[in-house]
Structure 1
Amino acid sequence: MKQRILFELIFKTTAYAIFFIGLWVILQPLILPSLNQQIRKYKTFTRLRKLHLKKNMSMFRSRFFIYRHLELLLGSTWPWYSESTIIYYIILSIVLFSVSTATYFRFISGWRLSIIFGLVTASFPYFFLLLRLFWKRSETSYELVPAATILLGKYRVNSRNIYYSIIDTIKEISQYRALQKTFIKLASAIQSHRSKEDLEEALELFVYQIGTTWAQQLGVLILNAQWDGKDIERSLSNIVKDIGKAQEILEQEKSSNQDTIQMGYFVPIIAFPASLCLLSKVVSPGRFLYYQLKTTVGFTSFIITSILCIGGFMVSLLLKKPKNEI
């Protein structure tokens, strides 16, 4: 009974996945060019709107918040980001939703719960990217402390030239890989930008990847130095002092979160699997699996508990190393 249920689950999931992947392979030559064309039209339209309607920029961006959010999220977390990445991400989410909803319906025979659990499953890639972004922000927020100090020194050495200061800083922070990649993207954008809007978009991505107020202030200073030619030495020096003090405060407060972090690790890694093993020993394994996978109450409780455990584990990962921001 146990092997039959597992085999049926694996077979159906694989069959659905092969079907949708094959369907995408067949339709890709027809769909992808038109989708890329629409994206290019959207970007062209965006640039024209920026040139002619600068006063309405915030309103225009709010209309396309979801697309811009995905663009920043994927651009910050996906190493091979391109114009087609967002399309592939949306298609992956749709496939996950379709396959998981059909699979859940097979076990709980209720479309409402199946759709809800399907939406949760389809959102896993999004939450994975968010977790990766938060972890990257946690790393880069601490790495920004020595990097900002180095940038200040290079800015003084390079006669207030912010571009060459960033280039020299990149060479000095090879041990901080995450932040180094962020600075490399920024330097490339500064070198190739054609307008102030291009520079602002690059700095928006730079700030988004670090996600702290210090990064926002640094982004504003870089914009002022690169585009307006302002001297930012004093302001940059103040940022270096402030983030250094903030790091000292955070180091003192880390110990207060240790109990929460340990509980977040204990429940999903030890307590939840141990409780499942204990229940399978109390009742027969066949009945236990039947209750968990074939009954609506058992399957629903298993899914909800799993989601809560995963959520608690993610929160513990985030609390383990909070962002360097006060």
Structure 2
Amino acid sequence: MGRAGIYKSEVIRARERLLAQGRNPSIDAIRVELGNTGSRTTISRYLREILEEEAENGPAPEKPDTSDAILALVRSLAAQLEADARSQLEAARAEFLQAKEQLLAELENSRAEALRLEGELRTSHTTHTQQEARIQALETQAQHAAQTLREQEQQAEALHEQLAAGQRHIQSLEEKHAHARQALEHFRQAAREQREQEARQHEQQVQYLQGEIRSLREQAGLQQEEQLRLREENTRLQAARETQDAQLQTLAKNLAHSQAEAAQLPALQHAQVSLSLERDQARAALASLQADQARQQEAHGTQLAERDARLQALELSLAETRASLQAKDELVRTLQSWAERIQPERPGPAQG
């Protein structure tokens, strides 16, 4: 497909080349000489104007003067510059369109990747929330297990001390058995009242300990002092129970039950260790997942930055190409203006 239009100067040069070759400068011959471009109507109009100018100005000299040679050179240079500029413009435009399509495709891929990463992030957040809930549940179970273990250890220690006290009391009772029969009923009544009082005290102590357990997380520094206070309270209670001979059988049964519970302490300790290991593994998996998410986000940001840099470079190259084409157009216009100024005026037709 030919270009949009031709110049009169191109038709003049094509006609002169055909005449120099001894060929007839017809419309079709000039169009072929111009590279099969230009409409026949435009070429015919230019030929008619050229013939009219030659008829008015007389036959052209066989040898062109210096101004005609410069004019032809300027026109040839202008046509060459124009052709080069248009070729570069078409190439730059094609490159820009191709780069634009490629960048649009990469942008769509980036958007799809961003949506996929966003979905993975939501999934990871959900998993993280579930793991946090599980970790909290495991920590709560571990705390309950540790508290139960401490309470059972305290009960076992108290029962051991109570058994020792009971044994000492049996020895004392064997010495005072003859004198104790008369006061047995009174002692039993006092023992029942003492047991009821101790039960109330034990209930109050349980409520107090429950309140202390709730405040243990905020009062970790006071835990040892509280344990010492509880041990002193247990010592006081044990000293008061030394006068209870009617509870020896009950103490023996409690001791057997406590020994059975103490046998379960290694299993509870093993469960606590397992819970701690499972909590550490969950925290390690969470840290790894967060590191993977950070690396994926960093790689995605790097890819977007590189694509933005490529797009800016292409836009800068296009701007430079346009500036170069504008400069060449200005040069062509300047050369044409200069050629028109230096072209000598041809003499008019001679008067008869």
TM-score, normalised with respect to structure 1:
0.25
Point out the structure with max Rg over C-alpha: 2
Task: Give the number of the structure with larger relative contact order, counting CA–CA contacts within 8 Å between residues 6 or more apart.
Answer: 2
Name the TM-score, length of structure 2 as normaliser.
Answer: 0.24
